[in-house]
Amino acid sequence: SLCAAGEPNLSYQELKDLKKANVLHIDVRERWEIDRFGKIPESINIPLGELMEALQMEPTEFKEQYNQKMPSKSDPVVFSCLAGTRSKQALGFAMSLGFS
């Protein structure tokens, strides 16, 4: 399941369409889940337990750690996980840090 503030539940096709518009896709599953079930193309993996810290990093540190430009607080971001529970938590974390 995928979560975005404007649209709490997205289909895979909706995500594919959003990715064409430069949306950052953060997969909050654990690394072992990525290894076992596969990586979603063009997503970055930041396990939920690391997300709060990651979203508060300096942009250069974020880029080094995740090989991706750090999103600004107004950039469109989509979170995903296996069932939707962690992506909803991730959305709450991001919004509590001022992401819109």
Per-residue pLDDT of the chain (100 residues; tens, 9 = 90+): 444 545 557 777 777 777 677 788 999 999 999 999 999 888 999 999 999 999 999 999 999 999 999 999 999 888 989 888 899 999 999 999 999 8
pLDDT of residue 61: 97
* Count of C-beta atoms within a 10 Å radius of residue 96: 10
Look-up: residue for tokens 């990715």?
Answer: 19
pLDDT of residue 19: 67
Cβ-contact 90, 3 below 8 angstroms: yes
- DSSP-based three-state secondary structure for 32: helix
Question: Could you tell me the CA-to-CA distances from 30 to 17, 24, 37, 100 in Å, in that order?
Answer: 25, 18, 11, 25
At residue 30, φ and ψ (nearest 5 deg) are -70, 155
List of residues 6+ apart from 88 with CB closer than 8 A: 3, 8
Would you state the CATH architecture of domain 2-97? 3-Layer(aba) Sandwich (3.40)
pLDDT of residue 1: 46
The set of catalytic residues is 81
